[in-house]
Structure 1
């Protein structure tokens, strides 16, 4: 049986290669997900980094106010699935039930994770620079300047 980190690495590789449903490749759907992530930022969590890819999403948050991570993720999944399914005239589950989580144990790990998330579109050859990817914290920071 594989360890959780091995499964997460395998999943990342498969998703970065473009395997899976590509509903988030549509700009309107990616925008729905990004708006959902930003909606409760500063209320139930603080967004540190995010990236909405064509087949998956990476999010790094600091939890606040004792809201369980499972509740936060469920809110994102439920809200976005409802809107995207309606928009796409489809039914059924949009997201997988599980998600991968990691606890940040140092500033170095936090920094490396932000870099990994924001470089995901570059690694997948979707853009040349992290800030060129519209649905990410790298792009968001560039727009705020």
Structure 2
């Protein structure tokens, strides 16, 4: 059973995220929505662009990501990134000091570096607004890897989804509340 989406307590931060003007493309014609009962409302997309696995760490490996306020901030930004930047976020997981997410760009999407910089910048301001944390919030560099097959995507997701189990945080990966799927990325 999927946990309920957590709510952030800082309304000022939520307004900032919702008003933030993002540059980027319109939704591309390459994406075909295919909602089914299995996706429970998640949108499924097919594209010729490859999925990309992103791994981002907090600055100083500070352990603050695994909380409902930060989860809501990041999810809210990523939910709007398809419309504003042409980047569709699929599965993601927040660990205490790092995150993994899968995303796929549209043909005319913002460059990956610009998109990553945007969501890191917006989330940094929002996290600082709701906590005692001060910048930098994120490490400057990050790891990304393009995936070219459904098998690779499935294998990588299974591996990162099990992070919370390997870390001793839960006994079942599905029980970890700081994970989700925004769009089902299809091959």
TM range (shorter): 0.7 to 0.9
TM-score under structure 1 length normalisation: 0.73
TM-score under structure 2 length normalisation: 0.58
Determine which of 69, 81, 89 is the counterpart of 2:124.
81
In the alignment, structure 1 residue 33 sits paired with structure 2 residue 74: yes
Deviates more, 1:82-91 or 1:29-38: 29-38
In the alignment, structure 1 residue 52 sits paired with structure 2 residue 52: no
Task: Indicate the structure with greater helix content.
Answer: 1
Asked which structure has the greater RCO (Cα within 8 Å, sep 6+), the reply is 2
Task: Indicate the structure with greater strand content.
Answer: 2
Q: State which structure, 1 or 2, has the greater radius of gyration over its C-alpha atoms.
A: 2
Aligned-residue offset at 1:42:
5.9
Determine which of 72, 87, 104 is the counterpart of 1:62.
104
Note the alpha carbon deviations across 1:52-80, whole angstroms, 9 max, x for none: 11111101111113321111111110111
Q: How many residues align?
A: 125
In the alignment, structure 1 residue 72 sits paired with structure 2 residue 94: no
Determine which of 103, 107, 112 is the counterpart of 2:150.
107
- Taking the aligned partners of 1:119 and 1:50, their CA distance within structure 2 comes to 12
- Taking the aligned partners of 2:150 and 2:134, their CA distance within structure 1 comes to 42
- Taking the aligned partners of 1:116 and 1:37, their CA distance within structure 2 comes to 22
Note the alpha carbon deviations across 1:7-29, whole angstroms, 9 max, x for none: xxxx99xx8xxx82012133322
CA RMSD in angstroms comes to 2.6
Instruction: Check conservation: 1:50, 1:136, Cα contact below 8 A.
Output: yes
In the alignment, structure 1 residue 23 sits paired with structure 2 residue 64: yes
